[in-house]
Amino acid sequence: MARRMVAVSRASDDALRVLGNQIKTARKSRGWTIADLAARIGVNPRTVSAIEGGSPSVSVGNVFNAAFVIGVNLFGLDGADLARARRQGEETLALLPSRVRKPVMRESADDAAF
Full residue range of the structural domain in which residue 55 is found: 10-95
Question: Rg of the Cα trace of the chain?
Answer: 22
| Predicted confidence band of residue 114 (pLDDT cuts 50, 70, 90) | low
- Calpha distance 61→83 (Å, rounded): 16
Higher pLDDT, 63 or 4: 63
Per the CB < 8 A criterion, the answer to whether 25 and 68 are in contact is no
Q: Is residue 110 part of a domain?
A: no
Q: What is the CATH number of the domain that holds 43?
A: 1.10.260.40
18-48: per-residue pLDDT in tens?
A: 999 999 999 999 999 999 999 999 999 999 9
**Whole-prediction pTM value?**
0.78
Per the CB < 8 A criterion, the answer to whether 64 and 74 are in contact is yes
- Number of domains observed in the structure of the chain: 1
